Homo-oligomer: A and B are copies of this chain.
Amino acid sequence: MENLEKRHSILKLGSNKADILSAINQHAPISRTRLAELFDLSFTAVTHIVNEFIEIGVIKEVGDGHDLKPRGRRASFLQLNEDYGYIIGLEVTDVRVKSALADFAGNIKAVKRIIFENHSKDYLISTIIESIESLVEENNISWERVKGIGIGMHGLVDYENGISLTFPSSEEWANVPLKSIIEERFNIPAKLDARLYVATLAELIYGEGRYNPDFVYFNSGPGNGFNIGLVFSGQILRGKDGFAGQFGHLVLDPKGPRCFCGSRGCLVTLASPLAIEKKAIEAINEGINTSLTSIYKEKGTILFKDIADSALKGDKLSVNLIEEAGRYLGLGFSYVINLFAPPLVVLAGTLNSAGSMLLDTIKREIALHSVPQVYQGIEIKFSSLEEDVAARGAVVLIIREHLKKIAEAS
């Protein structure tokens, strides 16, 4: 049902027509009346525009399941047409590739995960290709029905040219033209962008961004992804070359551990899931008394989830590790808050499994290090979106490409 009290935020696509399609994507189901209000157009003008898109088959009319018009006829709302085609969205982190199959309305139909066994360039590329291929074949989808492949990529990305510039844990990976590789392999249009960008996109279209034009989005991985998306007036602030949001590389301890970026003591080396797992294993090897030891002996490794679970059960080492990470994160967020004063900070990703223990530490530390009047009233909360958010954002990347082209052609 339409939320009529809240202010609708719209992620722009360029022209008025494209923005209307974008609003339908972001606020479905949405009525013509509401669209007319949002775009300061007459009901007739909106009807004229959307009818054209209904004819093409890119959007469709639905009842929203709640609203009834006075005479009992179902109110007519608009949404993207699921049947317009399939989209594939990939999230590539430094630990795995996740591929998602979605309909054109962005509903996820199937998800597949492949853990990376090594970080050689050839292996990574072939595994990414395999994740697409097997997803389509296992779900008996005709390749002709796949409209595009979106990729949210770990590391720095040249999104304009579809080039993956870096993959921090792979030394031989540099300037890989992943977009062309995928397009040539599958003969389907592909689009590459940074993992954090597509995750922010998902939060904008399906999450807090629907009604919050200004917020900061943090995604803590898995792996070494540790950046933020900055949303200002409903649009994503990309910065020079799309490199804005390197939260993980704020140097919080100039004498700290060497980071893969070349600096020392970056936040990602101090508080990322991987950094915390590493510290836990070091402590176990030093013989510190912790319930993690038995897990480590059994599995041969420790995941952040294990540490979060143990912390909740009172394991002292685990609590210390999570609180230490929370203190570093809180200092980092105090910078973000002092500089941007976002009304809302949304936390997503692996670290969320530590729950309120982490959140409370972060909030306490922000309060210590930010200007009180600035922090006052700023909401810090966990994202309510499901875990495969970045793959879903990669789907949206493709949906929006299509909406833009359709609007241009109309």
Contact = CB atoms under 8 A, between A and B. Distances in A.
Interface of A: 156, 165-166, 214, 228, 230, 232-233, 235, 237-247, 249-251, 254, 261-263, 331, 334-336, 338-343, 368-374, 377-378
A243 B372 CA distance: 11
A228 B240 CA distance: 18
Contacts of A239: 214, 340-342, 374
Contacts of A370: 246, 249, 263
A208 to B, nearest CB: 15
17 contacts: A165-B373, A239-B374, A241-B341, A241-B373, A241-B374, A241-B377, A243-B371, A243-B374, A245-B339, A246-B339, A247-B338, A247-B339, A249-B371, A250-B335, A251-B369, A262-B371, A339-B339
A16 to B, nearest CB: 12
A228 to B, nearest CB: 7
Nearest to A233: B235
Contacts of A232: 232, 237
A240 B342 CA distance: 6
A246 B374 contact: yes
A212 to B, nearest CB: 11
Contact of A243 (B235, B243, B341): B341
A334 B166 CA distance: 20
A331 B253 CA distance: 11
A215 to B, nearest CB: 10
A323 to B, nearest CB: 16
Nearest to A374: B243
A232 B237 CA distance: 7
Contacts of A249: 338, 370-371, 374
Contacts of A373: 156, 165-166, 241, 243
B371 A334 contact: no
B339 A230 contact: yes
A244 B372 contact: no
Contact of A254 (B250, B261, B331, B339): B331
A167 B114 CA distance: 57
Contacts of A340: 230, 237, 239, 244, 339
- Residue picked from A233, A338, A372, most chain B C-beta under 10 Å: A338
A240 B335 contact: no
Nearest to A237: B232
Contacts of A247: 338-339
6 closest residue pairs by CB, A with B: A239-B341, A246-B338, A244-B341, A251-B369, A243-B341, A243-B374
Contacts of A372: 261-262
A19 to B, nearest CB: 15
A240 B378 contact: yes
B331 A339 contact: no
B343 A240 contact: yes
Contacts of A165: 373
Contacts of A156: 371, 373
A245 B338 CA distance: 6
A20 B232 CA distance: 24
A368 B254 CA distance: 9
Contacts of A251: 331, 334, 369
Contacts of A339: 228, 230, 244-247, 250, 335-336, 339-340
A240 B368 contact: no
